[in-house]
Structure 1
Amino acid sequence: MSMDAFDAGALSGLLVADFSRVLAGPYATMLLADLGAEVVKVERPGAGDDTRAWGPPYAGGEATYFLAVNRNKRSIALDLRDPAGLETARALAARADVLVENFRPGTMDRLGLGHDALRPLNPGLVYCSITGFGSGEGAGLPGYDLIAQAVGGLMSVTGEPGGPGTKAGVALVDVVTGLHAALGVLAALRHRDRTGEGQRVEVSLLSSLLSALTNHASAYAAAGVVPRAMGNRHPSIVPYEVFEAADRPIVIAAGNDRQFRALCEALERPGLAADPRFATNAGRVAARDVLVAELNAALAARTADEWFGLLTAAGVPCGPINDLAGAFSLAERLGLEPAVEVDGVGQVADPIRLGATPPSYRRRPPRLGEDDAWVREILGR
């Protein structure tokens, strides 16, 4: 089977050798696959990716965790400790345009699958390594999202003031790292388009998290300020937090003076906007507790859904706190088409919209080793 048979898309014609597992790497390679790349997922015989066993919940007997980040891929089961399996893996790497791996640093080198070993075989290979804490002094640290959230500062700014550190409700560091990995791969491919040369791409959980902490990280890097957890409050903007409507909480994010005045008008409390204490954002931050009490008193007059409609119409950013059922329902009402079905498997839609080469949903997440024959055919084995 020739490469010409690969499906069309922005990245069609590219072959990705995916030696990653769990979340950060598979998320990155799924994004590439959605955009047309042919991704071959290399898995352990008998067990496969760890997330195949991470349930419940299950859908059709398969862990939904695995299903979340592995569509549009093909699976081959290779024992990298076996000479025959290792030789097939080397043949795949020699044929690939991109290789993504997230083994502990040094593992791929010991297997003869490291960047330096593969470069003579495939000078155009874009080789992406995802680590927890880099390949230097942090190489021995375990690259788990929860550990990165803890030591990387995210838990220190999440949760209630004075309380214990709190993790985000999703493996956010893995996801952000996967996004950085995919972006790095695309940049390296652009360089290869111009020069014909591949290169190594390295991303780590810790570095990705520090970048993603944005304003918090900047507060420390630029001003030496160490932010602390503030619950649902924002350190620099008021009102920008959770409030209590008559029936349930609602979030209001009035990010400037105009939006604050519109909020006060909609609440029928124009005097708040005229109060010198609240006239500027800096004043509102200083008088946060007083202002929040006033706003909660006004918001108690209506339900969250009523305020959502009224405040949105007035140009005030806001929204009720939905569970995932409510979130999907909202996205559907807004025409965002948040879910797709791929060969009977429910999937979250790719969020990228492209006018000419949109993401495609060609194959369900693979069963372990189901594409062994296909992979060997394209490798001539």
Structure 2
Amino acid sequence: MKALEGVKILDFTHVQSGPTCTQLLAWFGADVIKVEQPGVGDATRKQLVDVPGADSLYFTMLNHNKRSIELNAKNETGKAVLTRLIEECDVLVENFAPGALDRMGFSWDRIQEINPRIIMASVKGFGPGKYEDCKVYENVAQCAGGAASTTGFLDGPPLVTGAQIGDSGTGLHLALGIVTALFQREKSGRGQKVLAPMQDGVINLCRVKLRDQQRLATGPLKEYSQFGEGIPFGDATPRAGNDSGGGQPGRILKCKGWETDPNAYTYFIIQAAVWEKVCDVIDEPEWKTAPGFAKPADRLDKLNQIFSRIEEWTMTKTKFEVMDTCNPLDIPVGPILSTKEIMEDEGLRATGTIVDVDHPERGRYVSVGCPIKLSDSPVEVVRSPLLGEHTVEILQQVLGYEGDELEKVISSGAVGEARKVAAE
């Protein structure tokens, strides 16, 4: 039995934040019914297309294990079908612009009237306040949530990160909110609203930077490189380059082959507990006891010198040889893995974090599997649905439409032209 088997999710999401959430729930066994506009579908189906005539990787990699129904919720028959879906489902997930559901005639009050046990989960850019009606995309969320202002080097502009912490990060937060609300419903019997603003999700992921903001009131942030370089701090948490956020000095260093390989680098942390081992590895044994080097606080103004010496050593090794040398000594290091190396990693494939998926239109592609592993609920990654692929199936199996009633829905135009053919 899958962890969420028997839970029905009405998926009104599109692009990335919402689909990330509902895909995770689908991986754990929920029946995710993706509602899409007839003949159009999720906008990402046709964004960044690499195989002509097939759904894009943008869509396929965010919509595994779901069923697709085409439905025009503005059509009166479509409204009736949607009403029945709300009656049958446990959760409605949406990331429409603010007020879109209300304009469709399905306000929270109306949804509760139809199904008092339903949970309505929403992704919005901002929470209640002066910005709540603003549209937000990934990079906007990173900027508004404090990530960009604290990313990059001190002498450069703010930077966004390649990790989709605004979209996918918010989707993960929303999934937790949904399963928590389902758990509470077992006790209360009632549904509720779950809101995950993108700005809030990014702020949560940037909590160490808000920690540092408060520490500034009592003095400089000594683990930041600028302290050792004698550069004054301002009134906000600064950009710290590749400094470690955990208080232990760390930087990205060149490895053998860096001249031609943009990812021939390693992350190297000078943890206080292994300082003497670091000295031995780089052949600087006198630094173990030398004045200004022996104690962590004394080394803060010498980090450029120390890391330059370590880099002289790492440049003689590949990033994997650095790991092979340092890991047995408990020296924290990590290779800068390229996306190509990650896709080819045997360990990640063995655990199902990287998977191959077969698709009837685009052939085989590589995707990210479920990042969370449950011992009693193994995940099988199933390809994303074609547009409206399960329309008739859902009308029959979930909503109980049969015979003339089914034919009436199909002929109404509420579920797309293609479904008429499929129903014959």
Determine if the TM-score, normalized by the shorter chain, exceeds 0.5.
yes
Is the partner of 1:319 in helix, strand or coil?
A: strand
Select 1:240's aligned residue among 244, 250, 262.
250
- Counterpart of 2:41 in structure 1: which amino acid? G
- Counterpart of 2:250 in structure 1: which amino acid? Y
Match of 1:227 in 2: 237
- Asked if residue 74 in structure 1 is aligned to residue 79 in structure 2, the reply is no
Bigger Rg, which one: 2
Match of 2:392 in 1: 373
In 2, Cα distance between the equivalents of 1:71 and 1:153? 31
1:291-312 Cα offsets, whole Å, 9 max, x none, are 2222223333333332221112
- Counterpart of 1:19 in structure 2: which amino acid? F
Q: Structure 1 residues 75 and 227, CA, compared in 2 at 3 Å: closer, same or farther?
A: same
Q: CA deviation at 1:19?
A: 0.5
In 2, Cα distance between the equivalents of 1:114 and 1:285? 57
The 8 Å contact of residues 33 and 69 in structure 2, kept in 1 or not, is answered as yes
- Counterpart of 2:294 in structure 1: which amino acid? A
Q: CA deviation at 1:335?
A: 4.0
The 8 Å contact of residues 238 and 288 in structure 1, kept in 2 or not, is answered as no
Match of 2:316 in 1: 301
Match of 1:351 in 2: 371
The 8 Å contact of residues 21 and 50 in structure 1, kept in 2 or not, is answered as yes
- Asked if residue 50 in structure 1 is aligned to residue 57 in structure 2, the reply is no
Select 2:335's aligned residue among 320, 336, 358.
320
Q: CA deviation at 1:284?
A: 3.4
Q: CA deviation at 1:333?
A: 7.1
The 8 Å contact of residues 109 and 117 in structure 1, kept in 2 or not, is answered as no
The 8 Å contact of residues 253 and 268 in structure 2, kept in 1 or not, is answered as no
- Asked if residue 284 in structure 1 is aligned to residue 299 in structure 2, the reply is yes
- Asked if residue 160 in structure 1 is aligned to residue 153 in structure 2, the reply is yes
Q: Structure 1 residues 257 and 87, CA, compared in 2 at 3 Å: closer, same or farther?
A: same
The 8 Å contact of residues 124 and 197 in structure 1, kept in 2 or not, is answered as yes
The 8 Å contact of residues 35 and 360 in structure 1, kept in 2 or not, is answered as no
Match of 1:137 in 2: 130
- Counterpart of 1:97 in structure 2: which amino acid? D
In 1, Cα distance between the equivalents of 2:160 and 2:348? 31
- Counterpart of 2:186 in structure 1: which amino acid? D
Q: CA deviation at 1:26?
A: 0.4
In 1, Cα distance between the equivalents of 2:295 and 2:194? 45
In 1, Cα distance between the equivalents of 2:243 and 2:52? 37
In 2, Cα distance between the equivalents of 1:331 and 1:308? 17
In 2, Cα distance between the equivalents of 1:276 and 1:106? 65
Q: Structure 1 residues 282 and 26, CA, compared in 2 at 3 Å: closer, same or farther?
A: farther
Identical columns (%): 30
Match of 1:4 in 2: none
Which structure 2 segments of 5+ residues have no match? 218-234, 259-263, 402-424
Is the partner of 2:345 in helix, strand or coil?
A: helix
Alignment of 1:177-256 (within 5 A): 177-220=170-213, 226-234=236-244, 237-248=247-258, 249-254=264-269, 256=271
Q: CA deviation at 1:238?
A: 4.6
Is the partner of 1:247 in helix, strand or coil?
A: coil
The 8 Å contact of residues 23 and 175 in structure 1, kept in 2 or not, is answered as yes
Q: CA deviation at 1:273?
A: 3.4
Q: CA deviation at 1:232?
A: 1.9
Q: Structure 1 residues 90 and 139, CA, compared in 2 at 3 Å: closer, same or farther?
A: farther
Provide TM-score, normalisation by structure 1: 0.90
RMSD: 2.2
Provide TM-score, normalisation by structure 2: 0.82
Q: Which moved more, 1:226-235 or 1:125-134?
A: 226-235
Q: Structure 1 residues 286 and 367, CA, compared in 2 at 3 Å: closer, same or farther?
A: same
The 8 Å contact of residues 27 and 178 in structure 1, kept in 2 or not, is answered as yes
Q: CA deviation at 1:204?
A: 0.4
In 2, Cα distance between the equivalents of 1:257 and 1:84? 68
Match of 2:230 in 1: none
In 2, Cα distance between the equivalents of 1:299 and 1:259? 17
Match of 2:416 in 1: none
Q: Which moved more, 1:270-279 or 1:124-133?
A: 270-279
Q: CA deviation at 1:336?
A: 2.9
